[in-house]
Amino acid sequence: MSSGTSQIWRRRSGTPLIRVCLIIFILVFIWIQMTFLSFAVSSPQHSELNDSNATILSMVPAVFHKFILSRAKNLSTITFANGSFSKFISTDVLNISEIKRNIAQYNLQQIVYNENIFEPLQNDSIVILVQIHDRITYLRHLIVSLAQASGISQTLLIFSHDYYEEEMNYLIRSIDFCKVIQIFYPYSIQTHPYEFPGNDPGDCPRNIKKDLALRKKCNNALYPDVYGHYREAKFTQTKHHWWWKANRVFSDLKITRNHTGLVVLLEEDHYVAEDFIHLLRLMERTYKESCKHCNIFSLGNYLKTYNYYADSKKVEISPWISNKHNMGMTLNRSTWMQIVNCAYHFCKYDDYNWDWSLQHVSQNCLKNKLHVMVARAPRVFHIGECGVHHKKKDCQAMAML
């Protein structure tokens, strides 16, 4: 009896162990299947991405790879080329008050990075003013193109932000090929998410009819645009930012408020040719001799095809047209003072596009309308496939490069 009981006990005691082993085997089998399935589904995509990254890096001199590659997320201290340093704090843990405080500090201090490395800004130096939002991938490629431009060391590079992010700040402060300064638009959607100029909860919905908006008594019910739509903060911010940054550079920044040279207006999804500064100098010399009524230069165009070899040394002169001559637009203080005197026309014009508003200023306010000297073969290219006005499946900058 005792022997039978012992055998039964051994069988019963072994049963849980067998069950546990069986469960482990099943779980391992499922895990292996899912791993292989995941690999089969994702590996072509990862392979394509790796190939794309490798292709990009192969196009860029090794010394500039630092502008393309993302930094390690656990970096806690940032050291700049001028010897200063800053503690890194992830934007994810910053609240709106902290972001506002940091922005105010940047705008107050007006630190010019690399100022002790490169020569002081001269009156005839070129200032490059870049308006940026949050598309860091495009910005990386713009910086690489700027780094390779002939004569870049003699310029001042200004980045005007409407979005605060430490990864982007770190990228910009790693620039070592010219003088650099950052300015921050203080009235952004990021810092005012629930109030004007952001989205107030009481704002009228975009497509609401005016009579219904009046009954609801939502904000700005009396003022739909010419198309019957109500204000959308994400679109109007670009125009507000454009006007603020220009005023900031020409009137407020200590380093530029008396500057009389050329200011090149770029955006984060632009890409410049190596000789864009050289061409700009030639255009500056030519307009003084041959086109004294020209008050705008344009380094880019939207032509799909052109003969670069035949047109590389040619320019055209015409009245400035907003949707043709807004890329790589360049002006000086004299032109800006004429524009700023028409502030009412710019700000009150019922359109959220800065370039269409500027077109309105030229046609309805300026004594001397805007005339442009534009490069036949562009030196500024638009590589942005996804942004405020463009939404495509493939948003990689590589597709355009």
Binding site members for Mn(2+):
269, 382
Residues 162 and 191: their CA atoms lie apart, in Å, by 9
Q: Name the helix (H) or strand (E) containing 170.
A: helix 166-173
Both tokens assigned to 255: 């380093």
Find where tokens 């900058």 sit: 397
Residue 87, strand partner residues = 77
Strand 179-184 to 156-161 pairing = parallel
Going by C-alpha positions, the residue among 186, 128, 181, 124 that lies closest to residue 152 is 128
- As annotated, the binding site for substrate includes 131-135, 162, 237-241
- As annotated, the binding site includes 131-135, 162, 237-241, 269, 382
| Residue 81 near residue 158 (C-beta atoms within 8 A) | no
Burial environment of residue 263 by CB neighbours within 10 A (0 to 12, 13 to 18, 19 or more): buried
Three-state secondary structure call for residue 278: helix
Going by C-alpha positions, the residue among 314, 305, 303 that lies closest to residue 373 is 314
